[in-house]
């Protein structure tokens, strides 16, 4: 069986975690794989035509293919898998109106020509099921061998932390009053942001770390409390909770807005805490700032959940089985 993967970019997080880290498992199972970035224009698609013709299954990650390409692939009787981990049928959280006819029609068209759909969470699955009957949920996993548990050390400093990119830094900006309030309340608290862009703060010490793949795990282990603030909107419901999965994967408990998959990954008062309002955020963060033993206990519970349900070692056999059923 030959599977051709089309991804946004080799360095894009969704490509790394929803495609590239699966490849060793596919190779071990005897599946021949090739990975290409989405081409630009007619010339780009022409250069990809031979590899696409040679594949048995075309696995498309997130982007929607042009109708002409979809029609051509179906004429060649290729099986198409569509994988997505964002609410691509809606506009993002910064838009006043989340609905988009263009996005909806593009999504509907992609699913019309698709044989199997992989959704990153239950909300996305429900959206896909409006247009397709063969949809499965597969979370965005971490590699259990790479995500080792942090060693607990005694320190007076409590490190709140967030990891992400420029596309979601606005959530941290919107909750800045929370971070400032916690900073005024506890002089030993530091806010760490691991990103390619940063917010500015006045009343809480800010630690800026430029994201780097090689340092990522050590940077995550340096945190004491992970943060995942969201808005309660359609775009946010499509988020796949990967920040939380990363925090818990190294044994760091998290405080989150209980929207979408966040409610599934974080069990309130077990491996982290839910916070809806800014007042609740300050209250829940205060609980963890003041109780190191609770942080350690929740971190252990969180890591156990991730190792049981959200690793590539757990998810790869499922994806392999689904794809083999198509062949």
Q: % helix / strand / coil in the chain, to the nearest 5? A: 45, 20, 35
What is the domain extent for residue 260? Answer: 158-309
Q: Is 249 contained in some domain? A: yes
pLDDT, position 43: 83
Whole-number pLDDT of residue 17 = 96
* DSSP 8-state code for residue 181: H
Contacts of 204 (CB under 8 A, 6+ apart): 179, 180, 182, 183, 184, 189, 190, 191
Q: Which helix (H) or strand (E) covers residue 58, if one does?
A: strand 57-61
Residues 269 and 185 in one domain: yes
**pTM of this prediction?**
0.95
β partners of residue 256: 228, 274
164 and 291, same structural domain?
A: yes
Looking at the structure, tell me whether residues 177 and 89 fall in a common domain. no
- Asked if the structure places residue 198 within a domain, the reply is yes
pLDDT at 219: 98
Residue 63 domain flag: yes
Which of 170-176's residues contact partners 24+ apart within 8 Å by CB, and which partners? 170/93, 170/94, 171/93, 171/229, 171/230, 171/231, 172/199, 172/227, 172/229, 173/199, 174/229, 174/231, 175/229, 175/278, 175/281, 176/201
**29-42: average pLDDT:** 93
Task: Report the CATH number that the domain containing residue 275 is assigned in CATH.
Answer: 3.40.50.2000
**Residue 70: pLDDT over 90:** yes
> Taking residues 262-288, what's their average pLDDT?
98
Give the percent of the chain with pLDDT over 70.
100
- Same domain assignment for residues 222 and 165: yes
Sheet holding 135-137, edge to edge: 32-37, 2-7, 57-61, 79-84, 116-119, 135-137
Q: Under a CB-based contact definition with an 8 Å cutoff, are residues 200 and 206 in contact?
A: yes
With tokens 């990809």, the residue in question is 48
Q: What's the confidence (pLDDT) of residue 182? A: 98
Is it the case that residue 316 has pLDDT exceeding 90? yes
Q: Are 17 and 61 in contact (CB under 8 A)?
A: no
Of the chain, the percentage scoring pLDDT greater than 90 comes to 95
Mean pLDDT (whole number) for 22-36: 97
Average pLDDT score over residue span 58-77:
96
Q: What is the SS3 assignment for 194?
A: strand
Q: What is the arithmetic mean of pLDDT over 245-269?
A: 97
Domain co-membership, 135 together with 221? no
Confidence band (pLDDT; 50, 70, 90) for 94?
A: confident
Same domain, 259 and 281: yes
Name the residue among 221, 218, 224, 193 with its Cα closest to residue 206.
Answer: 193
How confident is the model at residue 217, as a pLDDT? 98
* pLDDT above 90 (res 169): yes
| Whether pLDDT at 152 is above 90 | no
Task: Give residue 31's pLDDT band: very low, low, confident or very high (50, 70, 90).
Answer: very high
pLDDT value for 40: 85
Do 137 and 167 fall within a single domain?
no
Q: Are residues 163 and 302 in the same domain?
A: yes
279 and 163 co-located in one domain: yes
Q: Give, in order, the Cα–Cα distances in Å from 252 to each of 36, 94, 309.
A: 35, 29, 17
148 is a domain residue: no
pLDDT-derived band at 41 (thresholds 50, 70, 90) equals confident
Angstrom distances, CA of residue 16 to CA of 20, 305, 312 = 5, 22, 11
In a domain, 151, yes or no: no
Number of domains, the chain: 2
Average pLDDT over the chain, rounded to an integer? 96
> Are 305 and 315 in the same domain?
no
In a domain, 146, yes or no: no
Residue 291 lies in a domain: yes
Tokens of 271: 């491996």
């Amino acid at each position: 069986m030959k599977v051709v993967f089309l991804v946004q970019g080799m360095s894009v997080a969704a490509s790394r975690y929803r495609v590239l880290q699966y490849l060793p498992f596919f190779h071990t199972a005897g599946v021949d794989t090739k990975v290409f970035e989405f081409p630009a224009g007619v010339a780009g698609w022409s250069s990809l035509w031979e590899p696409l013709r040679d594949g048995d299954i075309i696995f498309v990650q997130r982007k929607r293919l042009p109708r002409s390409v979809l029609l051509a692939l179906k004429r060649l009787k290729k099986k198409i898998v569509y994988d997505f981990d964002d609410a691509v049928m809606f506009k993002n959280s910064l838009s006043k109106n989340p609905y988009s006819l263009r996005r909806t029609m593009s999504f509907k068209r992609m699913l019309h020509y698709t044989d199997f759909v992989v959704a990153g969470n239950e909300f996305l699955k429900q959206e896909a099921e409006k247009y397709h009957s063969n949809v499965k949920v597969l979370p965005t996993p971490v590699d259990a061998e790479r995500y080792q548990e942090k060693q607990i050390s005694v320190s007076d400093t409590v490190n709140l932390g967030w990891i992400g990119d420029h596309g979601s830094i606005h959530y941290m900006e919107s909750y800045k009053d929370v971070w400032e309030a916690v900073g005024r309340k506890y002089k030993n608290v530091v806010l760490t942001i691991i990103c390619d862009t940063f917010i500015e703060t006045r009343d809480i010490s800010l630690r800026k770390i430029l994201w780097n793949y090689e340092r990522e795990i050590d940077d995550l282990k340096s945190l004491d409390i992970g943060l995942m603030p969201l808005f309660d909107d359609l775009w946010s419901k499509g988020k796949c909770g990967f920040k939380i999965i990363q925090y818990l994967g190294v044994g760091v408990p998290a405080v989150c807005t209980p929207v979408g998959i966040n409610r599934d990954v974080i069990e309130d008062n077990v491996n982290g805490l839910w916070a809806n309002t800014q007042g609740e955020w300050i209250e829940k963060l205060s609980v963890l700032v003041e109780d190191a033993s609770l942080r350690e206990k929740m971190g252990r519970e969180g890591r156990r959940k991730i190792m049981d349900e959200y690793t590539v070692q757990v998810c790869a056999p499922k994806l392999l089985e689904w794809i083999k059923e198509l062949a």
